[in-house]
Chains A and B, each alone.
Chain A
Amino acid sequence: MTIQEVMKASPATVAPDETFGHAFALMMEQKLTHLPVVGSEGVYLGMFDLRDIWQVLLPKAALLAMDSLSDLAFFYESKKQLIDKLRHAANRRVEEFLKEEDAPLEVYPDMPVIEAVLLLHRHDGVLPVVDRKSRRLVGMVGAWDILERLR
């Protein structure tokens, strides 16, 4: 079984120059956890996902990638503040959130599904399916796409 057989073709996408607010609304509307960012001619650029939204909500001190602030149990944050944070971020562009990853998480249509299973076991989430040559996004594959086929 190849990934092409299980993937969801033509998923919702967002362009890099669109706003955080637009991407956020799209995700809320369709209850998406991952929104692929595609550039001109549908080339896959990276993933906008829930972590980007969590990042906006968190105090900067918690994002230092050090365990020195191991939790925020002592912290205080009002509902209004969290809403304000989302509002402040609304006009930021999606491309600001694209992460530089050492090994981008992606799969190709002709790969065996078990490769996607391995990646999902390691990272969880939803994987972008990218055409090897043109780097265009051809689909997305997540847990339910695979598990539906196995019933």
Chain B
Amino acid sequence: MHPEASSHVIFGWSAAWVSSVLFCIVYGLIISEKINRAVVGLAGAGLLILCGVLTQEAALRGIDFNTIGLLLGMMLIVGITSKSGIFQYVAIWSAKAVNAAPVGVLIMLSLVTAVLSALLDNVTTVLLIVPVTLAITEELGVKAYPYLINEVLFSNIGGTATLIGDPPNIMIGSAVGLTFMDFVIHAGPAVLLVMVLTILPMYWIWRKDLVATPEAQQRVMCFNEREAIKDSRLLKQALGVLAGVIAGFVVAHHFHIAPATISMFGAAVLLLLDNFGRSADDQSKNVHHAFSEVEWITLMFFVGLFILVHGLEASGVIRALAEQLLAVTGGDQKITALGILWGSALLSGVIDNIPFVATMIPLIKSLAPVFGGEQELMKFWWALSLGACLGGNGTLVGASANLVVAGLAERAGQPIRFWDYTKSCFPLMLLSIAVCHLYLQLRYL
């Protein structure tokens, strides 16, 4: 029995059953979207402790504060940086760099989305890029649809390439101690291949719609990207801090500094710079606003989920699941790794990848003795990361960025329908996973 498992479960029930049933109910409620996911996660975690499966101390030990801190710090930094208007500037600049030719704009905005979402969270990236995209496509007189779809796909693809790009990577990186460069080196090449193999079919499908008159292109060329910059002092500070934080992630490993320390310290420095010389009253307003931009729903969801998964771990459910997985794959490394890749891609296409990855992490960790130590697990981590992040592209509900874009598109009168999206993007997702399959096989198996 796990040292943290409590022997005082309510009514003498089995800890494994209580934690499994609670976990399944929470999962079901998250999928049904009837109740906010943060509320469901926290209520489930609370019940788990009240039922006596975990003590409060054990539950707190289950929370990965490195993941929470990393996310919180980055949300603060990005929230402040986005006020400067830099992201709109980059989007307009990139469209003008290709003479506002529709195909060029499609490629540039996809690349900008990929790069930004590799460094920022995906939802923030699309929230900043989509309005500019709508403005540009309206002026060009072209359908916004292919542009928006590409931005969905590339926000998820770009996020796969770095430690901080997507929540699954943050969780995996934090649990396993992977560095920023580990992700760039191991996930990066696969991401580049997937990008090329996504843009080509998208261009092929939409090429007939990607035509604009010279006058329309000229109108976009008249956009003045400099006017998009709202606050150049803030811009310099924010870009400085962002660059410092990313450099910090790259070198942190050598100094034994955890990523959460870097992102939280970066956020503190940026808040300090942004508030320097302001009156006390102005400071409270400004800091209050910065904190209110944080996505507390996501963070609280993580807290609840970590506790619930820790309950499964402590009561031996994860170990039992791992044994099941090994029984299915016969303990074969190749089958296990590719099974994780395809399984996580297909599941992430329909359910939230955050709870899935949170469950898979302890499961994969428990496989270490079978496969000969932690080092042998690396291929499984890359399979999980690539599958869970890219799988989100499969359907409109596969990732939160997808839903955000769909919401914006709907309001702009260019709705993205669930089945239309699935028809063109599910095959593209399968293609990207097939690419990763080959990549994993050639490099690690």
Binding site for B on A (CB under 8 A): 59-66, 68-78, 81
Contacts and interface: CB of A to CB of B under 8 A. Distances in A.
B366 interface: no
B228 A73 contact: yes
A50 B284 CA distance: 37
B408 A75 contact: no
Interface in B176-228: 219-220, 222-228
Would you call the interface of chain A mostly helix, strand, loop, or mixed?
loop
Contacts of A62: 131, 135
B277 interface: no
Interface of B: 85, 88, 92, 127-128, 130-135, 138-139, 219-220, 222-228, 230, 408, 411-413
Nearest to B136: A61
Contacts of A60: 134, 138, 412-413
Contacts of B128: 68
Contact of B412 (A61, A70, A73, A75): A61
Would you call the interface of chain B mostly helix, strand, loop, or mixed?
helix
A71 B230 CA distance: 9
Contact of A59 (B139, B222, B225): B139
A70 B134 contact: no
A63 to B, nearest CB: 7
B223 A66 contact: no
Given A60-B413, A68-B131, A74-B226, 11 more contacts: A60-B138, A61-B131, A61-B134, A61-B135, A61-B138, A66-B131, A66-B408, A74-B223, A74-B228, A76-B219, A81-B219
Nearest to A76: B222
What 4 A-B pairs have minimum CB-CB distances, sorted nearest first?
Answer: A76-B222, A61-B134, A69-B131, A73-B227
Nearest to B219: A76
Contact of B127 (A61, A66, A70): A66
Contacts of B226: 74
26 contacts: A59-B134, A59-B135, A59-B139, A60-B134, A60-B412, A60-B413, A61-B131, A61-B132, A61-B133, A61-B138, A64-B412, A65-B411, A68-B127, A68-B131, A69-B131, A69-B135, A71-B230, A74-B88, A74-B226, A74-B227, A75-B135, A75-B223, A76-B139, A76-B222, A77-B219, A78-B219
Contacts of B88: 69, 74
Contacts of A59: 134-135, 138-139
